[in-house]
């Protein structure tokens, strides 16, 4: 990763593979954990805020050397809640996956909307 990557787009299902491709090309490596995280965060916007929501995706190297991914959307009220899905539930595992593959993650409220971020150990 040479510098930050920032993408402005509409959260549509067809945008997910396009963003994954842009992230992979920017990183210069597959980095499956980063791709999993960007997929999960964009899908959460589509599912819980709504299709065609304007979003910003940012990827950069944090001062401590980890890779930081941020997804910002305009809805400050659609909070992420980690659930404990049953074995037959078809949804509800995304944030558990995010928690499992990242060093840490969270949500903060910029002046407009919300940003969901995660940090992954160096390398990717």
Q: pLDDT, tens digit, for every residue of 4-38?
A: 999 999 999 999 999 999 999 999 988 999 999 99
Q: Tell me, what's the pLDDT at 17?
A: 97
Separation of alpha carbons 40 and 99, rounded Å: 11
Whether 124 shows a pLDDT value over 80: the answer reads no
Q: Is 122 exposed, middle or buried (0-12, 13-18, 19+ CB in 10 A)?
A: exposed
The predicted model scores a pTM of 0.89
Q: Tell me, what's the pLDDT at 29?
A: 87
High-pLDDT (> 90) share of the chain, %: 67
99 neighbors 82 (Cβ within 8 angstroms):
yes
Separation of alpha carbons 49 and 16, rounded Å: 15
Question: Which tokens belong to 124?
Answer: 């990717």
Q: Which residue has the higher pLDDT, 18 or 63?
A: 18
């Amino acid at each position: 990763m040479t510098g930050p990557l920032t993408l402005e787009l509409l959260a549509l299902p067809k945008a997910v593979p396009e963003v994954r491709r842009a992230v992979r090309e920017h990183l210069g490596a597959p980095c499956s954990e980063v791709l999993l995280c960007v997929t999960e965060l964009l899908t959460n916007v589509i599912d819980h805020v709504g299709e065609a929501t304007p979003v910003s995706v940012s990827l950069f190297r944090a001062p401590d050397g980890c890779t930081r991914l941020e997804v910002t959307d305009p809805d400050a009220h659609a909070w992420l809640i980690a659930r404990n899905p049953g074995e037959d539930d078809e949804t509800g595992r995304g944030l558990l996956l995010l928690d499992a593959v990242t060093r840490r993650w969270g949500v903060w409220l910029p002046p407009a909307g919300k940003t969901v971020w995660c940090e992954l150990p160096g390398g990717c």
